[in-house]
Structure formats: C-alpha cells, structure tokens
Structure 1
Amino acid sequence: MNRIKNIKELAELAGVSTGTVSRALAGSALISQKTRDRIQALADEHGFRPNVLARNLRIQRTGAIGVLIPLGHETGQHISDPFFITMLGLLADALTERGYDLLLSRVIPTDDRWLDRITGSGRVDGVIVIGQSDQSAALDLVAGHYRPLVVWGGHTPGQSYCSVGSDNRKGGDLAASHLIERGCQRIAFFGDPGAPEISQRLEGARDAMARAGLADQLTVLPAHLVAEAAHPDIARFLSQEGQRPQGIVAASDVIAMSALRVLAEQGLSVPGDVRVVGYDGLALGEQTSPRLTTVAQELTRGAEHLVDMLLRRIAGEETQSVVMQPELVVRLSS
C-alpha cells in the first residue's frame, strides 16, 4: 500500500479539498464527524501524519509554553528544589490538559535582557515565570511589549507585569502572630530579603512584632533557600551565646526543615525549646519530625490561575494580578 506523503495526496484520495483535510485532522467542528472519521481512517491506513511544525507556522502558534525559573539572588538553587518541583508538576498537569507542551528553562540572569531574548525567540506562545528573584526590572521591561507573560510571586504596587501569588506580608504576619500567641517573645526571621516575596514576609513579621510591642526582639538571618547552604549559617546563628530565639519564622519550608535539623543536632526540642513556622505549604511538611507548621499558599489554585490567565492573554484579553490569601496550617512544630 502506497504511503501518503502530504495533505494534497490525502485530499485527492478522499475526494475533498486540502482545506477540508486540514480542518478534519485538526478536529474542526466545521467538518462533519462522519467526514472527519473517514479522513482520519484514510490517514491511518496510509501512514500519514500531518506536519505539526508546518501547521504551527501557518497559524503562528508553537503549541508550547515556556516555564522559566530565574535565579538572580540564589544561583545555587536547582530545579530539584521541592518548591520548584511542586509548582512544575502542577503547571505541567494544567498545561497538558489545555493541549500545550511545557518548555522548561533554569536561567542565571547576566543582564536585564535575558527575558527579552527568550520571548523574542519564537519558540513559545507564552511564558510563565516561577518566582521574581531579584529580576523585577527585567520583568517590567518585557511586560511593556510582550503580553502573554504571567509571573508567580508577590505583587508590588506599580509593577507592569501580571502576577499570581499569596499576600506575603499577611503570611509573615500570620506566622509571627502565631508564635507570639504561643508565648514567644524573641523571634528570628530566617530568609534573604533580597527577593521581593521574602522581603514582604519579613515586613509582615515585623508588623506582628510591632503590634505586640516586641519590635526590638526580632532578629534576621539572611539564610539561603538551598538547604545545604542554609544549614551551616543556621547552625552558627543558633550556637552563638544568647542568640537562640524562642520562635523561628522561616521564609520557606525548605529553610524551616534546615532549622529543624540544626535544632535536633544541637539537642534542642521542637516545640519545647524553639517553635518553628515555615512558608509555602509543601507536602513534605507532613513528613518532618515534628510535623511542620506552615503558611500555605494554595499552590494548586495558583498554578490554575497562572495557566488560565496566560491563555487568556494569548487570546488577547487583559488580566489583572491575583493576590491569594495565605492560610496558617498549625502542626506540631509550633
């Protein structure tokens, strides 16, 4: 049996136009189901597969969404980070259900034009950025002329780009307020405020401490987001004479897990000697010992928002940033 090489040959065999074949193979409702089934059966019988690349060029679509992880302030972080893995899984599921492939890039920015180069490459139909890092300027630069761009992260007044994320300031407030209610007066914040999200969480913790009249009792350790790098800094901090806090607000669950490890190594009990609260709401928090109290960000709903808003922007709609309300999940560590 002769193998069909192109749409023209398949159209001649089916006795229809090439346009009808193209629409039938794309599943267009403009073509009757009976005709679509007949053309698909002929294509299968003669081993024909449409040239998806050529079709995408004609309709100016790639069928792919770029998911970028910029690491400006924390270049040692990897895609294997529990937060990134969680978000990537959720985004991959949501994009696949909408018929898109995911093109993943871990980016170490060298200048403010890195995102401009990616969006101008023509390789993707739109871009989702996971985390702002310290790249707000680059995001604003591209958002002014490239519409299909959505960013996971905290919202800052005046930003040009569309973002989805939790109310980080409220989340930091929830964490510190919870520790204060549990009797903690000396509280340490672990996290590098060089990133906007972490800076907002620190401000929330400061809000809670100020309301309680404890503003001078908050200390800050700019701990890394990478567990291996955070561990020695936390160990040195907690081993210093008079440095040990009664409670720890960690800027991420990964940092909180490093704190739990250090406290155990130094023979301190949690929550007996020190209470610990993380941030993110990762499933791993259920597996720590003790189970980790955390500020959850509703990551599943966040991923759904990111994909929905991006596809609406690809279709030409305008969308506004979404700020979701965080939730304190109390477990045994506090």
Structure 2
Amino acid sequence: MGPRLTIDDQSEPSGKVRTLADLAKIAGVSAGTVSRALAGKELVNKTTRDRIQLLARQHGFRPNQMASNLRTQRTGVIRVVIPLGHDRRQHISDPFFMTLLGHLADELTECGYELLLSRVIPDQDPDWLERMTNSGMSDGTIVIGQSDQFDTIERVAQDYTPLVAWGNYRKGQAHCAVGSDNRLGGRLAAEKLVASGARKIAFFGDTAGIEIASRLEGARKVAEIVHLPTHLAVDEMDADIASNLDSMDPAIDGILAASDLIAMACMRQLRERGIDVPGDIQVIGFDDIPAASQMSPPLTTIKQDIAVGAAAMVDILKRRLAGEKTGSVVMPPRLIERGTTRIG
C-alpha cells in the first residue's frame, strides 16, 4: 500500500471555493492546471493531480459542467437512436434492444457521457438522421439496427463522422458498422439443423431488414429454406406464427428463427399444438439474449456478443470524436447448442 496523502490546509471551510481561480489560489497553481487536474489529464503529474482533486473534494468544489461544455463545444451527450423502418410496430422493450441499450449505457457512463435515447418511424420523418445529427444536442450518434434505412445512414455518414451503427457490413460502405457476420450466423444455424437430421427447414422472420435478410441468405447456402414472413412486433408475432404453423408443410422438421424472440414465440405455438421440440421439430434462434437459456427446453441459438459489440461501438465513437479514422467491426457469431436441437 502506497504512502497516505495528507494536506495541511488552514484555509476557509467549504463554501468559499466557487471558481477554478479560487481553487488554484489555494493549491498554488494556475487555473489551467486545476482544470486539467480535475479532468484527469495526464499532462499534470499524478502527485499534483491527486492533491488538487483532494482539495476540490474537501471544499465541495464541482466544476460548472455547462460552462466547461461551452468552452469545449461539447455537450457530453451521445444520442442512441432506434429506427423502426421495416416494422414500425416493434418496441424498444424488445429484449435485444434492452440488452444492447444496457451495455451501451454502462459503457457511455464509464466514459462520462449521458445517453439520449430516440425511437423514430422513418416514413413519418424521412430526414430523421439529418435532423438528429444537426441538432447540436449531442456529440455523436449510435444507431441501433439499420432496418431498411441503409441508404439514409450512408448518406449522412458522408459528412457526419461521429456516427456508428449496429448492423450489417457491406464492402465499401461509407458508414462505420459494428455487428455480427449475419451470413455466417445463418449458415451455422442451417448447418446445425442439417447435421441434426432436419430435412426441410423453415425460416421465420421479416427480411425487409438487411440483417435478417443476410441471415436467410447465409442459411440458403446450406439448404433449401422455406421463408415464412413474420413480423417482429410482439403484438402481431404470435398471430403470424400461428397462421404459418397451421398452413406449414407437415414435412418441415426444422425452424430457423431470425431472433430469439421469434424462436420463443414459435416454441409456445408448437407446444399449444402438441408438437414436441426437438423431437418433432428442432428450433434455433439468433442473438442469445439472457432469456434464451431459461426456456424449457433451453434454446439453441446463434450468439452475438452484445457486450463486446457495445464496448466496440463506444470505443470507435470516442476515437472518431478525436478525429481518428476507423473501420467497421465484424464479429464472428457462435453456435450455442442447447435443448431445442438434437445431437447431430
């Protein structure tokens, strides 16, 4: 354990220090040194930095954050926006959104940022991203999901650099994206179903979104897939799935769902019809949200490392705010085998 830092301070008690200049006078340094020390800048040596920070605590001094932001032309806020283009009925309460938002909030808070959350319906607000990035209300923007807004994000990214999107990566795209290799994820899921004995596979999901379309494309590299369109919105999902199951080819013995939420809804509907999972039909989800392992049986799924992705998005955004050029990050998905598929 290092030496204990003590200060013999005979100055007036807390309440007298109102400005950086007041604290600088007590510390015997310049106001600029105090400012850098309180910001944790390494330009000030650690001993001086610790001494100034301790003095600030003893005197109850808190820098005026608004004034600091005005000087640096920063807001200290990062906007996180969820565009619901291909399914406007989807909710922020979707477990995938909530999981990713939780990790983003943790990462941003650790970096000293506030989070401003927005949900937009693009067909009601075609210039949604231009409006948000030009508002002056945030230092940077994180977009969760490209939905059917790839071209919009591309256009804005040409001139607005502190922008990172969770989603799919296309070679040569302008905007920076962090996400899983969705084609690979779809391929891994289809390979598992085929290896476990499935002979006819159905894909449940709305492929208007680029990420989900890529998952179906990857699966079709492995097997012939029957696509059964399914809304992502919770209030219509069960009805869509019920209708699809009732009219589905009885030869189908494997279901690849575009998300864990859709997979769970499939399992509920199958159970109501007395269809055994995985005995009669095997089911695989996508995302590995926390609830996936709590199902009965536990859900086999394709894992996106959401925590790692959130950390990468915040790190890239910080680097872009500092003027650094960055590329996209494509994370490899992993098959998590549980109880809804058979041993292949």
Same fold (TM over 0.5): yes
Q: Can you list the C-alpha shifts for 1:218-237, whole angstroms capped at 9, x where unaligned?
A: 32111122333211111111
Given the alignment of the two structures, is residue 170 of structure 1 paired with residue 184 of structure 2, yes or no?
A: yes
Given the alignment of the two structures, is residue 282 of structure 1 paired with residue 289 of structure 2, yes or no?
A: yes
Q: Report how far residue 44 of structure 1 moved.
A: 4.2
Note closer, same or farther for the CA distance 1:78–1:3 as it changes in structure 2 (3 Å cut).
farther
Note closer, same or farther for the CA distance 1:203–1:41 as it changes in structure 2 (3 Å cut).
closer
Q: Report how far residue 84 of structure 1 moved.
A: 0.8
- 2:183–2:215: 8 Å Cα contact kept in structure 1? yes
Tell me whether 66-75 or 287-296 shows the greater mean CA deviation.
Answer: 66-75
Tell me whether 272-281 or 227-236 shows the greater mean CA deviation.
Answer: 227-236
- 2:326 is aligned to 319
- 1:76 is aligned to 89
- 1:228 is aligned to 235
Give the AA of the match of 2:114.
D
| 149, 155, 160: which one aligns with 2:163 | 149
SS in 2 for 1:278: strand
| CA–CA distance in structure 2, aligned partners of residues 241 and 248 of structure 1 | 11
- 1:124 is aligned to 138
| 100, 121, 128: which one aligns with 2:113 | 100
Q: Can you list the C-alpha shifts for 1:19-48, whole angstroms capped at 9, x where unaligned?
A: 233233323344455554554455445543
| CA–CA distance in structure 1, aligned partners of residues 312 and 59 of structure 2 | 42
- 1:53 is aligned to 66
Note closer, same or farther for the CA distance 1:161–1:244 as it changes in structure 2 (3 Å cut).
same
1:234-245 equivalences under 5 Å are: 234-240=241-247, 242=249, 245=252
SS in 1 for 2:221: helix
- 1:294–1:330: 8 Å Cα contact kept in structure 2? yes
- 1:270 is aligned to 277
Tell me whether 193-202 or 87-96 shows the greater mean CA deviation.
Answer: 87-96
Q: Can you list the C-alpha shifts for 1:106-162, whole angstroms capped at 9, x where unaligned?
A: 222234421111111222221111110111121011100111111111112342101
| CA–CA distance in structure 2, aligned partners of residues 309 and 45 of structure 1 | 36
TM-score by length of 1: 0.90
Tell me whether 159-168 or 300-309 shows the greater mean CA deviation.
Answer: 300-309
| CA–CA distance in structure 1, aligned partners of residues 200 and 113 of structure 2 | 49
Give the AA of the match of 2:106.
D
| CA–CA distance in structure 2, aligned partners of residues 273 and 203 of structure 1 | 25
Q: Can you list the C-alpha shifts for 1:197-247, whole angstroms capped at 9, x where unaligned?
A: 0000111121111xxxxx3xx321111223332111111111127456211
TM-score by length of 2: 0.88
- 1:298 is aligned to 305
Give the AA of the match of 1:150.
V
- 2:218 is aligned to 204
| CA–CA distance in structure 1, aligned partners of residues 331 and 89 of structure 2 | 28
Task: Give RMSD over aligned pairs.
Answer: 2.1
Note closer, same or farther for the CA distance 1:111–1:160 as it changes in structure 2 (3 Å cut).
farther
Tell me whether 51-60 or 101-110 shows the greater mean CA deviation.
Answer: 101-110
Q: Report how far residue 66 of structure 1 moved.
A: 1.7
- 1:3–1:47: 8 Å Cα contact kept in structure 2? no
Given the alignment of the two structures, is residue 115 of structure 1 paired with residue 129 of structure 2, yes or no?
A: yes
| CA–CA distance in structure 2, aligned partners of residues 207 and 18 of structure 1 | 64
Could you tell me which runs of 5 or more consecutive residues in structure 1 were left unpaired when the two chains were aligned: 210-214
Q: Report how far residue 163 of structure 1 moved.
A: 0.6
- 1:169–1:203: 8 Å Cα contact kept in structure 2? yes
Q: Can you list the C-alpha shifts for 1:37-60, whole angstroms capped at 9, x where unaligned?
A: 554455445543211111112112
Tell me whether 247-256 or 120-129 shows the greater mean CA deviation.
Answer: 120-129
For this pair of structures, how many residues does the alignment match?
Answer: 327
- 2:255 is aligned to 248
| CA–CA distance in structure 2, aligned partners of residues 182 and 48 of structure 1 | 65
- 2:90–2:234: 8 Å Cα contact kept in structure 1? no
SS in 2 for 1:201: helix
| CA–CA distance in structure 1, aligned partners of residues 218 and 47 of structure 2 | 61
Tell me whether 185-194 or 122-131 shows the greater mean CA deviation.
Answer: 122-131
SS in 2 for 1:68: strand
Identity of aligned residues (%): 55
SS in 2 for 1:164: strand
